[in-house]
Structure 1
């Protein structure tokens, strides 16, 4: 497996996921300073020119949630995802998809000083609803799905961590405590050295 990466990109989360799994892979650093992410060779792999990208043989996977879900399913013995077909899988999917489809668009717009002109038509609604849902979804103790840490924590917790670090949000005590639990994981510490 090849993991295309830059520590100042969303690939920090997929790097963390790979460390949680402790699986062999080749890390390929893409240099933003030389615009390597827009080089023709890289754009053949990911036409978006974005990171992260995971290449597993002939399979190319992009997007943090997709890569984390793919890896969790590829290595089921690591128990970073609930069993396929289990009831817990529904909540797991919610954490994976809510993060990229709702939280990140809302936070990205807000960070740029924008508000969607018609929040009812936007998939993420408005900031008060997003923040209320984050508060509801954040576990008081343990992890997103209970006692077992999963890819849901890498994806959901990772974006909350990023959002706090870059001051996109002022976390509630519950969110701050959850992110602090995440920051104590050895795989997190091994991958988040730039911050």
Structure 2
């Protein structure tokens, strides 16, 4: 497997997942500061020119959450995802998709000073609704799906850690405790050196 990576990108999430799985791979650093992501060679791999990208044989996976889901299924024996068809799989998908489809767009536009967001016109609702969802999804103890750490924690928890770390959202005591549990994991510390 090849993991196209830059430490100043969402590739931190997929890097963390690879480290949690102890998955053998080649890391290829893309220099986004110099614009390497826009080179014809990289755009042939990822037409969006975004990082991360995972290449596994003929499979090309983009988007950090999709990479984490792919890796959890590829290494199913490691238990980072509920089995397909199980009742927990639906909850798992919610944790994987909520950050990218709801939380990140809302917090990003809010950070730009856009305040008059009508929840019925935007797919991500408004800040009170999103924060209520975050609060309801954040575990009091353990991990997103219970006592077993999964890719849901890497994606959902990693997003919370990012936004709290950059003061783009205020963490409740429950969210702050969950983020601290995530940050205590060895793989998190190895992938987030300097952050």
Range of TM-score over shorter length? over 0.9
d(CA) in 2 for partners of 1:112, 1:56: 37
Q: Which residue of 2 aligns with 1:17?
A: 17
**Partner of 2:182 in structure 1?**
182
Residue 193 of structure 1 aligns with which residue?
Answer: 193
Aligned to 2:26: 26
> Is the CA contact (8 Å cut-off) linking 1:116 and 1:122 kept in structure 2?
no
In the alignment, the residues of structure 1 paired with residue 188 and residue 47 of structure 2 have an alpha-carbon distance, to the nearest angstrom, of: 29
Report the 3-state secondary structure (helix = DSSP H, G, I; strand = E; otherwise coil) of the residue aligned with 1:66. Answer: helix
Structure 1 alignment gaps of length 5 or more: none
Decide whether aligned partners of structure 1 residues 170 and 87 sit closer, same or farther in structure 2, where only a CA change above 3 A counts.
same
In 2, the alpha carbon distance for the partners of 1:115 and 1:37 equals 32
Kindly indicate whether the alpha-carbon contact (under 8 Å) linking 1:42 and 1:49 is maintained by their aligned counterparts in 2: yes
Matched with 2:49 is 49
Aligned length: 195
Alignment of 1:68-87 (within 5 A): 68-87=68-87
Residue of structure 1 equivalent to 2:158: 158
Gap runs ≥5 in structure 2: none
- Residue of structure 1 in register with 2:95 after alignment: 95
Query: Which stretch of the first structure deviates more once superposed, 179-188 or 115-124?
Result: 115-124
CA RMSD in angstroms comes to: 0.9
CA offsets 1:106-160 (integer angstroms, 9 cap, x no match): 0111111113653312111101100010000000000000000000000000000
TM-score, L = length of structure 2: 0.98
